[in-house]
Amino acid sequence: MAMKTLRRYRVLLERNDQGGYAVTVPALPAVVTQGDTREDALANAADAVRLYVESLQARGLPIPDATVLETAHLHDPGRAGIR
């Protein structure tokens, strides 16, 4: 029996203006999903990641590692003159 490799991917969870949440996975740009609630969006993202990784494996393609992200917060960029 083959052991499964545990992979962890960072996700970006954004609230939609129309309601609900959008989720993207920077290490897997093809994975974009959404949900009505935070929990639904994250569950959908987990399913999408699993299916995408399975499709890569089935085609013999490499599985991307999780990326290291640097995060920063911009406050009122119109006034701060952020360049």
**Structural domain containing residue 58:** 12-63
Say if residue 70's pLDDT is above 70: no
**Mean per-residue pLDDT of the chain:** 85
* pLDDT average, residue stretch 4-27: 89
pLDDT of residue 34: 96
CA distances from 1 to 4, 51 (A): 9, 21
Helix and strand counts by DSSP (H, E) for the chain: 2, 3
Domains held by the chain: number: 1
pLDDT of residue 8: 86
Say if residue 83's pLDDT is above 90: no
4 within domain boundaries: no
User: For the ranges 18-27, 44-53, 68-77, which has the lowest average pLDDT?
Assistant: 68-77
Say if residue 80's pLDDT is above 60: no
56 within domain boundaries: yes
